[in-house]
Structure 1
Amino acid sequence: MNRYIAHDGHTKTVPALQAAHLEDDAFYVFGPFSEEHRLQQAIWHEMLEKRPSQCVHFFFQAEDGIRDRTTRGEAAVSLLDNEGLQAIFSRAVIYVDITGLNHSVWASLLRASLSSLEAVFFVYTEPGAYKEHESPSSSSLFDLTAAFGGVAPLPGMANLSGPGRDVKSVLVPFLGFESARPKHIALDFDPQPQIMPVVGLPGFKLDYPQITISTNNEFLTETRAYEQIRFARASCPFEAYSALSEIQRDNPGCFLHIAPTGTKPHALGAVWYAFDHPRDTEIIYDHPIRKGRRTTGVGPTHIYSIKPRHADI
């Protein structure tokens, strides 16, 4: 196994997000409020009451578009419409709470905001715990997903050219608790590329890395990927970004097929890396349909300084 990867970027972690942690003159973007405890953030209810003109509430999200609610009313925006997404932001500083947003949605917001805003902060709140499966097995301890939408690029991230005929391909799955996901994605390749997985270490909880390894044991064994495992803190997009950078450095000229099937912070780092390296990467995603009430409780909240990367937060 390869060495632990040092992070490169600034994260502020707090027990609970409060107004004091946010800049006053900023825009706040967040997803639907739902049954999950961490998706009922008191801070966003507070901002809707105290700073309504600075809030964008995405109350409906699909794989190709969203509906938002602001003080100007409700509107629908395509996730492929960069100008339409940028028009949502009326200030130079933005906070995007990705906890309750689909990958398709927050990835599109990342693309739109990086090129147009002075300061971009993404926010993520860990769950207190995941819902255990009624009939747990070695490959499915937690009950997280109802179905999958199919393997396809995220909106606006299709790499139509792909790798050249003589270019080495590497599949980088970010591993989580659902072993069927990287297996299914790997089956889409013929021949199968070399597989270099990334595991969240440290995890949200002390035992989560071991659960991840044991859950994916069959996949790691069949693909002979144990010796290729890389590590990145489960809550850190900067370490996920660094892991991909090191894989590409250690495999000069390779093309990375990146599957963000682990934690959402890892997915954030993966998508960000793909935006920065469009010629030799692609994001492969299986678009899971998540079950309701799949988590309980509320863990710490992380504020990631995406732009500028080393902002003092």
Structure 2
Amino acid sequence: MKFENLLEVDRSKLLTIKADIFFFGEPLDDRGKFVVLALQENLSPKKVIVKFDASKMTFTINGASIPLRDFSSYLNKISPENITGQIIVDATTLGVSELLYILRWALRLELKAKIIYAEPKNYPSVFDAPSDYGRHHFNLSSSSVGYRALPGFTRTTSTVKKAHLIALLGFERVRLGQLLQNDEGAFIEAVTPIFGVPSFRPSFDKHSAYQNIDRLVRVSDKPEFCCASNPFETFRKLKFIKKCLPDKVLHIAPIGTKPMAIGACLFILSNLNENVGLMYDHPINSKGRSTGVTKIHLYEVSFA
């Protein structure tokens, strides 16, 4: 695995970027629509829309229902015969589950992934109120399936051999709270929180701290920090933590920014034979969860 480029691009680049396949999800807000519409105008790649249903453990790929166990073989079946080895993955509209399985498929075929992510201009507050709760509370997801294991990305723990949780944190306090409440110390012995700093905007890091700090007071180590928009920095931070905890089972919960989640996915994929696993709650994202579009990032990763 090689990190080749981290670029900021514009719409003209999306219209001309070359690849064999463009993977994307359902656009729910301005930035998702912006990226998907631009890349759909790009005549180069085959378009593949992907959605994962964690309650049924099935994918929907271009309208076809595919069991999780058949995901890779189905992608092989629908891929262009003359595939040159490059794919586009829109992380703006795809969730962590889709990203993990698409990138694992790319890893096995030694492809090059061009991962797109568009930052929002703003997240509308749920309450138009001057209180701290109103300023820091957002309607990002309507519900979640809950923390369900994904085949291929889980690691065994017990009350004797507990896990060290690494939580990449965002704006939704309920996600970390649900994880810690469900465990109640049974299988998690310690927590290392990672906050996205610098954040997309100067005020965004305050939202994350306000939403999570009370959950962490009694259970966590000192917090770590990495850039909210740089997945490669997240990867390096996770690598450093793993080096400091060589004998521990690490469970990674990517419940913060999408670029941080991309870094977590890449780290998990580079440690498939190690004691590194995923903990994820499969949220149902809300429509209109953000407004506007600011920076568009292009992250290039080679699995060759």
Query: Residue 234 of structure 1 contacts residue 265 of structure 1 at CA under 8 Å; is this kept in 2?
Result: yes
**What secondary structure, in the 3-state scheme, does the structure 2 residue paired with 1:252 have?**
coil
SS across alignment from 2:293: strand
Structure 1 residue 277 displacement after superposition = 1.7
Q: Work out whether 1:289 is the aligned partner of 2:284.
A: yes
Partners of 1:249 and 1:17 lie apart in 2 by 41
Measure how far apart 1:282 and its partner are.
Answer: 1.2
Q: Name the CA distance, whole Å, in 2 between partners of 1:59 and 1:40.
A: 15
Match of 1:147 among 123, 127, 143: 143
What is the match of residue 49 of structure 2?
58
What's the CA shift for 1:117? Answer: 3.9
Which residue matches 2:250?
256
Contact 2:4 2:302 in 1 (8 A): no
State yes or no: 1:85 paired with 2:75: yes
On the 8 A contact 1:66/1:78 being kept in 2, the answer is yes
Corresponding letter in the other structure for 1:193: E
TM-score (norm 1): 0.83
Q: 1:167 to 1:109 in 2, by over 3 A?
A: same
Identity %: 26
CA contact under 8 A between 2:16 and 2:42: conserved in structure 1?
no
**Structure 1 position 9, deviation (Å):** 5.7
Residue 180 of structure 1 deviates from its aligned partner by 1.6
- Structure 1 Cα separation of the partners of residues 247 and 52 of structure 2: 37
1:298 is paired with a residue whose SS is coil
CA distance in 2, matches of 1:126, 1:80: 32
Contact 1:80-1:156 within 8 A present in 2 as well: no
Picking from 17, 33, 40, the partner of 2:33 is: 40
Which residue, 211, 214, 218 being the options, matches 1:218?
A: 214
Q: Does 213-222 or 127-136 show the bigger shift?
A: 127-136
Query: For 1:43-78, what per-residue CA distance to the aligned partner results, in whole angstroms no more than 9, with x for missing partners?
Result: 6445545527x2223165533333334xxxx54333
- Please state whether the residue corresponding to 1:13 is helix, strand or coil: strand
CA distance in 2: counterparts of 1:50 and 1:144, whole angstroms: 29
Alignment of 1:232-271 (within 5 A): 232-271=226-265
Q: 2 CA distance for matches of 1:138 and 1:44?
A: 33
Question: 1:85-124 deviations in whole A, cap 9, x for unaligned?
Answer: 2333322110111211122222211111111143111111
Relative to its length, the structure with more helix (as a share) is: 2
**CA distance, structure 2, for counterparts of residue 94 and residue 220 of structure 1:** 39
Match status 1:30 vs 2:18: no
List gaps (5 residues or longer) in structure 2: none
1:18 is aligned to 2:10: no
* Cα distance in 1 for residues equivalent to 2:4 and 2:166: 22
Q: Distance in 2 between matches of 1:17 and 1:220?
A: 43
Matched, 1:229 2:223: yes
Within 5 Å, give how 1:114-129 maps onto structure 2.
Answer: 114-129=107-122
Structure 1 gaps of 5+ residues are 1-7
CA distance in 1, matches of 2:116, 2:250: 26
- Cα deviation, 1:8-43, whole Å, max 9, x if unaligned, reads 7631112446346612x5322222244x111212x6
Supply the distance in 2 between the matched residues of 1:50 and 1:142 (Cα, whole angstroms): 33
Write out per-residue CA displacement over residues 254-305 of structure 1, whole angstroms, 9 at most, x where no aligned residue. Answer: 1111111101111111122122223301101111111111100012111111
TM-score by length of 2: 0.85
The 1:47/1:83 distance shift into structure 2, 3 A limit, reads same
Contact 1:199–1:212 under 8 Å retained in 2 = yes
